[in-house]
Amino acid sequence: MSRPKIVILGAGYGGIMTAVRLQKQTNANEAEIILVNKHNYHYQTTWLHEPAAGTMHHDRTRIMINDVVDENKVNFVQDTVVEIKREEQKVILENGELDYDYLVIALGFEPETFGIKGLKENAFSIRNIDSVRKIREHIEYQFASYNNDKEKKKERLTLIVGGAGFTGIEFIGELADRVPKLCNEFDIDRSNVRIINVEAMPTLLPGFDPELVEYAKNILERKGVEFKLGTMIKECTEEGVILSKDDQVEEIKSNTVVWTGGVRGNSIVENSGFEAMRGRVKVNKDLRAPGYDNVFVVGDCALIINEENDRPYPPTAQIAIQEAYTCATNLLRLIRGNEELASFKPDIKGTVASLGEGEAIGTVGNKKLYGSTASAMKKIIDNRYLFLLGGPGLVLKKGKLKLF
Ligand code: FAD
């Protein structure tokens, strides 16, 4: 009898953790497991704000897939997914195709620009290793060029971050730490540099505890960040941004606009004909796509409603990892002929947002955390993930071991 073939698309948090769970739990020859990913490495998306600002080397965020995946149990295919042919149970790759008995879609997120003119073309986004390397190099180039220009251009030193959600705030915290070092390196007076955060909502970190938000705002302002809250980016041009607030329009010239204001699920999901809201499939409780009993969706491509407030859970690594556990359990049950599948229920342990070196805010359980304690907690969360993925060896190799 041929073994059931499980194909996992994407080796981010959701995909790689599903593969690792399956490799631990399947018996020899129980299933053929194939993991497909664009690159031969997994990267820690939740760390990307650091290499984007240049406060960490991007290599620290990546983990070679062969270091955590057992090639005797999981066949890794480095390729790019182009389309999923649902009815034919086939995945089209750039360099071939794969058929499957069971499919796990874990292709992650894309920036959502909400139709704002020029944003897609002119703004950077924090998305993967390639995108953050480009941001870091671009910013360094602006600083390096400033004193070489005949006429010193302020737009080279005006850094705009669109969006004050989790990613925007974590990035701006790192940027505020990096700027004094860049000024030092390139002989630039700090007062010539502007770091501006633009957010349409009246507050940063919407949904966070107001006291923690106030703390974050004070810390970042002390580091020289200017906030423009309740302000819309109307347009992003090659020269900068056009903002509007209360019918007042303002143009800020800038060579560096980084958009962090929204994400959606990978467009491959919608383009392959799955019913989705902004690229996210509203999955059944067992994480299967409605109408497709052999297709699971996890991570940022999946949409799950929080029954307590009837709103979707925000896309997070925390949820993606937990979904991977349920997804692997359910795949095992299916291949072992057990039709009774486990229901997924997120167990939100807390949320911690970093504000740069040694500073963070967060909640763990119902406890509020600030400053260095929150920052240490953030590192513990990061290390815990590495432990789940690759055991103590991976924590020692890639972990954040200096907590304070
Ligand atoms: P991803 O981690 O995005 O992985 C998707 C994978 O699919 C990648 O390996 C990618 O290369 C691959 N892929 C994509 N397209 C293709 C294709 N066509 N073919 C082949 N492979 C493909 N969440 C938290 O819980 N806590 C945090 O502190 C936190 N901080 C964050 C900070 C930043 C800067 C950012 C950007 C996000 C943060 N998040 C955080 C959110 C979290 O990173 C995402 O929710 C999480 O990465 C989603 O996991 P995923 O497995 O769905 O996708």
**308-354 pLDDT, tens per residue?**
899 999 999 999 999 999 999 999 999 999 889 999 999 998 999 99
**15-26 pLDDT, tens per residue?**
999 999 999 999
Active site residues: 170
Q: Does position 101 have pLDDT exceeding 90, yes or no?
A: yes
Buried b (16+ CB within 10 A) or exposed e, 216-242: bbebbeebebebbeebbbebbeeebbb
pLDDT band, very low/low/confident/very high, at 105 (cuts 50, 70, 90): very high
**242-293 pLDDT, tens per residue?**
999 998 999 999 999 999 999 999 999 999 999 999 999 999 999 999 999 9
Torsion of CA 16, 18, 21, 26, to 10 degrees: -120
> What pLDDT is stored for residue 29 in this prediction?
86
Query: Which residue from 82, 107, 205, 268 has its CB within 8 A of the most atoms of ligand 1, so it is best to mutate?
Result: 107
Return the ligand 1 atom nearest residue 352 CA: 28
Residue showing tokens 């664009």? 38
Distance CA 366, CA 364 (A): 6
- Residue 208, φ and ψ in degrees, nearest 5: -80, 160
Indicate whether residue 318 lines ligand 1 (CB < 6 A): yes
Distance CA 331, CA 335 (A): 6
Percent above pLDDT 70 for the chain: 100
> Which residues does residue 251 pair with via DSSP β-bridges, in sequence order?
242
119-259: CATH, from 3.50.50.60, 3.40.1390.10, 1.20.1530.20, 3.40.50.150: 3.50.50.60
Q: Does position 98 have pLDDT exceeding 70, yes or no?
A: yes
Q: Find the angle CA(112)-CA(117)-CA(118) to the nearest 5 degrees.
A: 90
- Residue 223, φ and ψ in degrees, nearest 5: -85, 5
Q: Does position 167 have pLDDT exceeding 70, yes or no?
A: yes
Sequence-ordered alpha helix ranges (H) in 258-370: 267-271, 317-335
Average pLDDT, the chain: 96
Q: Does position 2 have pLDDT exceeding 90, yes or no?
A: no
- Residue nearest to ligand 1 atom 41, measured at CA: 316
pLDDT band, very low/low/confident/very high, at 152 (cuts 50, 70, 90): confident
* The domain made up of 5-111+263-348 is a member of CATH 3.40.50.300: no
Return the ligand 1 atom nearest residue 354 CA: 28
Domains 5-111+263-348 and 119-259 fall in the same CATH topology: yes
Q: Where are the domains of the chain?
A: 5-111+263-348, 119-259, 349-404
Q: Find the angle CA(217)-CA(121)-CA(171) to the nearest 5 degrees.
A: 25
Indicate whether residue 11 lines ligand 1 (CB < 6 A): yes
Phi-psi region of 51 (alpha: psi -120 to 50; beta: other; left: phi over 0): alpha
> What pLDDT is stored for residue 1 in this prediction?
63
Return the ligand 1 atom nearest residue 324 CA: 51
Percent above pLDDT 90 for the chain: 95
Structure tokens at 353: 């947002």
**3-state SS track over 273-297:** CCCCECCEEECCCCCECCCCCCEEE
Ligand 1: centre distance to CA 33 (Å): 21
Indicate whether residue 106 lines ligand 1 (CB < 6 A): yes
Does the model's ipTM exceed the 0.85 cut?
Answer: yes
Ligand 1: centre distance to CA 43 (Å): 8
Ligand 1: centre distance to CA 268 (Å): 15
Distance CA 81, CA 98 (A): 10
Indicate whether residue 47 lines ligand 1 (CB < 6 A): no
**82-97 pLDDT, tens per residue?**
999 999 999 999 999 9
Ligand 1: centre distance to CA 107 (Å): 8
Distance CA 308, CA 366 (A): 17
